[in-house]
Amino acid sequence: MIRFEDVSVTYDGVAEPAVRHVDFEVPEGELALLVGPSGVGKSTVLGAVSGLVPHFTGGTLRGRVTVAGRDTRTHRPRELADVVGTVGQDPLAHFVTDTVEDELAYGMESLGLAPAVMRRRVEETLDLLGLADLRGRQIGTLSGGQRQRVAIGSVLTPHPRVLVLDEPTSALDPAAAEEVLAVLQRLVHDLGTTVLMAEHRLERVIQYADRVVLLPEPGAAPVVGAPAEVMAVSPVYPPVVALGRLAAWTPLPLTVRDARRRAAPLRDRLPTEGARGTARPATTHPPETTAASPRPRSGRTFWSRVSRRADGGRSHGSPRPFGALADARDLQVRRGRVTALRGAGLDVSPGEIVALMGRNGAGKSTLLGALTGLVRPQAGSVTVGPVVPAATPPRELVRHVGLVPQEPRDLLYADTVAAECAAADHDAGAAPGTCRALVAGLLPGVSDDTHPRDLSEGQRLVLALAVVLTARPPLLLLDEPTRGLDYAAKARLVDILRALAADGHGIVLATHDVELAAELARRVVLLADGEVIADGPTAEVVVSSPSFAPQVAKILAPGQWLTVAQVREALR
């Protein structure tokens, strides 16, 4: 159904092809998963199927891509629209109408389907994706995950024979991701739909794949095969595979269920008392400091590393001690007709890393908004350090709290990295060069004149982080920071955040990434429908939860192991 014949794509103005010798086939009624590190060309391959590459992106495509027998070089995306449905990485870029119902109907209208058919399919899709309560909502008022579900729904309604999906679950909570993947699997099994999907969070998707197409490194030909075969050699793999490799299980299990069946001997080898007290991540990095000892260990901390590397780092010599960082109580927030927070609260101490978790629409971004003054609660109290965010001018507030938003692009508006940094220094009242020194420390090798748009997703996130850190806010908030990041980029982010916590910063991550929470957070706060329903040590909150437990916890339960790193350490 989808066929690549020795395809290479070279973008204009770039010497080397972005992808080379891509040769594979996805037969009708199969789900193929496209995997590989960031920047390896996954979106390029997907774009070649929908015709966006090269028709919209420019560049040269050599070789041949056919979809349902149509050559995508001679058929423009419009001429493929009756066969191929595409969801890109950024749902906002995808929307053409204002409300949920209109968006679901739009694709069918363009194809000229009968009104009765359109009506039926809109209703079906609202049910299928749990969108019925949101049908009349303006898209601009939806949470990140709600938007992503609408974007997926809108490509399903025309019943395309081929679906091309670029990280379709990146903004979804774990349960919603499972539901969406189950819907896709049903289309594949029952209707013979063909799916090509790129995804970084392999722990969510690998078990649904009929075959895996691995792009191992830029310019290298893809490795194509059965999921277990490819996972055995892949540079990117989910925790279940990491544990399987560590324990030398063959064949390699890809699901928690298969791994559990093998895990008894491994469970027996692990110390039971270690298993009880493993809230602390096993790591070579300095542990998070506690409220009682906010001072970092010398030499390994974030600011000392930055100031050592960067010549402009004078202002970052030694960390200053921080007082209590945030105290939000009994918050009530109404947004439109929705009560987004009902009595929620959060306190954050210096050196603490807190994961804020919960379903899509539970109120996580709203709570972060209240801490940064973007959302004004109708009742309750919020203080951040000594100030009340909604009553504090932005220039003053950035010294107390910084937010890296769900879409880092929202924070970046200049044309070059250098201009972005100059603006950040100015906004924060920091010495000129402060932000650039941070960027040099965090992203060595990025030149001054690079356009932030041309950075990879992970690089853009780190640039946004540097912009926020320029004001050295004691409290750092990150909204879903691992969207679009591969495992290596995630590991680098984990390093940076641990070092910041060791310097006494308090960090709150709103995240659906259960593996990240397990790796990084000592404490998890769980929100449901605007209320805090659990607040405690990570191991206690997540291990018993079918949605929020990481894979290792599920495989090794009842032991409270959370990460492969902890298990590796314990086996030494």
Closest CA to 420 of 435, 401, 407: 435
Task: Give CA 437 to chain center in angstroms.
Answer: 26
Instruction: Indicate whether 146 belongs to the interface with ligand ATP (CB under 6 A).
Output: yes
Instruction: Indicate whether 57 belongs to the interface with ligand ATP (CB under 6 A).
Output: yes
380 is written with which tokens?
A: 């309750």
Instruction: Indicate whether 301 belongs to the interface with ligand ATP (CB under 6 A).
Output: no
Instruction: Indicate whether 14 belongs to the interface with ligand ATP (CB under 6 A).
Output: yes
Q: Measured on CA atoms in the order 556, 558, 562, 567, is the torsion positive or negative?
A: negative
Residue 320: CB minimum distance to ligand ATP, A: 31
Angle of helix 417-428 versus helix 457-469 axis, rounded to 10: 30
* CB-based contact 529:363 (threshold 8 Å): yes
Q: Measured on CA atoms in the order 263, 265, 269, 275, is the torsion positive or negative?
A: positive
Q: Which residue has the tokens 């807190």?
A: 354
Q: CA dihedral in degrees (427, 429, 431, 437; nearest 10)?
A: -40
Q: What is the DSSP letter of 512?
A: S
Selected range binding ligand ATP among 155-163, 355-363, 490-498, 535-543, rule: CB under 6 A: 355-363
Residue 462: CB minimum distance to ligand ATP, A: 13
CB atoms within 10 A of CB 269: 10
Instruction: Indicate whether 143 belongs to the interface with ligand ATP (CB under 6 A).
Output: yes
Task: Pick between residue 40 and residue 105 the one whose CB is nearest to ligand ATP.
Answer: 40
Q: According to CB under 6 A, which one of 32, 41, 331, 556 is a site residue for ligand ATP? A: 41
State the DSSP string of 404-452.
Answer: E-SSGGGG--SSSHHHHHHHHHHHHTPPTTHHHHHHHHHSTT--TT--G
Q: According to CB under 6 A, which one of 97, 456, 544, 545 is a site residue for ligand ATP? A: 456
Instruction: Indicate whether 364 belongs to the interface with ligand ATP (CB under 6 A).
Output: yes
Instruction: Indicate whether 10 belongs to the interface with ligand ATP (CB under 6 A).
Output: no
Instruction: Indicate whether 234 belongs to the interface with ligand ATP (CB under 6 A).
Output: no
105 is written with which tokens?
A: 């109907």
Instruction: Indicate whether 338 belongs to the interface with ligand ATP (CB under 6 A).
Output: yes
Residue 146: CB minimum distance to ligand ATP, A: 6
Selected range binding ligand ATP among 20-28, 78-86, 357-365, 383-391, rule: CB under 6 A: 357-365
Residue 225: CB minimum distance to ligand ATP, A: 19
d(CA 39, CA 45): 12
Instruction: Indicate whether 511 belongs to the interface with ligand ATP (CB under 6 A).
Output: no
Residues 457-476 that bind ligand ATP (CB under 6 A): 457
Residue 395: CB minimum distance to ligand ATP, A: 26
Q: According to CB under 6 A, which one of 194, 278, 365, 459 is a site residue for ligand ATP? A: 365
* CB-based contact 517:549 (threshold 8 Å): no
Binding footprint of ligand ATP, residue count (CB under 6 A): 34
**3-state SS assignment for residue 18:** coil
Instruction: Indicate whether 543 belongs to the interface with ligand ATP (CB under 6 A).
Output: no
d(CA 477, CA 275): 30
Task: Pick between residue 26 and residue 552 the one whose CB is nearest to ligand ATP.
Answer: 26
Binding site for ligand ATP (CB under 6 A): 11, 14, 18, 36, 38-44, 57, 141-146, 173, 335-336, 338, 340, 358, 360-366, 456-457, 484
